[in-house]
Amino acid sequence: MTASEEAELLQLKRKIERDRGFRCELYKDKCLRRRLGIRMRARKAESFAAYAALLDTDPTEYDRLVDALTVNVTKFFRDREMWDVLAAELLPRVLDRPSAPIRVWSAGCSSGEEPYSLSILAHEWAAREQRPETLERLAILGTDIDRASLEAAERALYPPLALEETPEDVRAKWFAPGPPFQLREEIRRPVSFLRADLLCDDPPVGQNLILCRNVIIYLERSVQEKLFEKFLEALEPGGYLVLGRVETLVGPIRGKFRIVSHRERIFVKP
Ligand SMILES: C[S@@+](CC[C@H](N)C(=O)[O-])C[C@H]1O[C@@H](n2cnc3c(N)ncnc32)[C@H](O)[C@@H]1O
């Protein structure tokens, strides 16, 4: 890139931050450029400056851009093996608390499939153990930076693709017939959603389990390290942190967690 293209790109990043609060400089530059490139080609914008001008005249393009930058791909029970370990080993420990509130945080929850998957497993555990009262103490919080995803999460109405990794009996039990498939009210009840930016907002504290999967891969390493500090602060002692399949803890913070499953990227705060 020439110096003037670099300068135009910098202007564009500042504009996106100013207009939409999306802090481009915290994300991996290569990913960001690739995604910007996709939108620019789609709109036949030949320079960063031309694309910036287009954002001013066509607000719908801004929504598409934020969509492209945030990468909202998700599914119920995405990476099934992790959910099997979670159901068999983690969840019984997290849920089997006599009286205190049970707090779970899905950080970067996109359209809700992850926190709702957790709610489904919690309901199945409670039915099996005959402990329905546990569900009344369960609060699952889903946070994301992307408003459109959160609106979809609140609607809880899903296309077949979202249920691709969901066993048929689970779909039949917890969703109304479709497509699209409406998630049943009881699964939605313990789950709430909030728009929050993981990188600058304070984390919700007192968590017993944090899922932050397929979010940090897009972030610069120094930003990842700061985020792990936040997770440590947000977790109760004995609380678990689950990352995505290709993600892991980096930096000195590694010494402050214990590995539960390296394969499934599960860590615990001692
Ligand atoms: C690929 S999705 C992951 C969804 C789900 N955790 C999963 O693994 O299936 C990544 C999500 O992270 C969100 N995200 C990206 N940067 C964020 C930030 N700074 N704060 C909060 N959410 C963010 C995106 O909007 C997107 O919904």
Strands 157-158 and 181-182: antiparallel
- Residue 167 pLDDT grade (very low, low, confident, very high; cuts 50, 70, 90): very high
Q: What share of the chain is helix, strand, coil (3-state, %, to 5)?
A: 50, 20, 30
* Whether residue 149 has its Cβ less than 6 Å from ligand 1: yes
pLDDT in tens, 95-113: 998 789 999 999 999 999 9
Residue 255: what pLDDT?
A: 96
Residue of 78 and 99 predicted with greater confidence = 78
Backbone phi and psi for residue 254, each to the nearest 5 degrees, phi listed first: -55, -35
Which residue lies with its CA nearest to atom 14 of ligand 1? 108
Lookup result for tokens 């991996």: 28
* Whether residue 198 has its Cβ less than 6 Å from ligand 1: yes
Q: What is the mean predicted confidence (pLDDT) over 241-257?
A: 95
Question: Helix 59-70 and helix 29-42: axis angle, to 10°?
Answer: 140
Residue 97: what pLDDT?
A: 84
Please tell me the pTM assigned to this model: 0.94
Which residue lies with its CA nearest to atom 3 of ligand 1? 214
* Whether residue 70 has its Cβ less than 6 Å from ligand 1: yes
pLDDT in tens, 6-30: 999 999 999 999 998 899 999 999 9
Torsion region of 97: left, alpha or beta (phi above 0 gives left; psi -120 to 50 gives alpha): beta
pLDDT in tens, 37-47: 999 999 999 99
CA angle 91, 114, 186 (to 5 degrees): 75
> What DSSP state is assigned to residue 257?
S
Which residue lies with its CA nearest to atom 17 of ligand 1? 145
Residue 99: what pLDDT?
A: 81
Indicate which atom in ligand 1 lies nearest the CA of residue 201: 20
* Whether residue 74 has its Cβ less than 6 Å from ligand 1: yes
* Whether residue 117 has its Cβ less than 6 Å from ligand 1: no
Backbone phi and psi for residue 13, each to the nearest 5 degrees, phi listed first: -60, -40
Residue 67: what pLDDT?
A: 87
Q: What is the mean predicted confidence (pLDDT) over 147-163?
A: 96
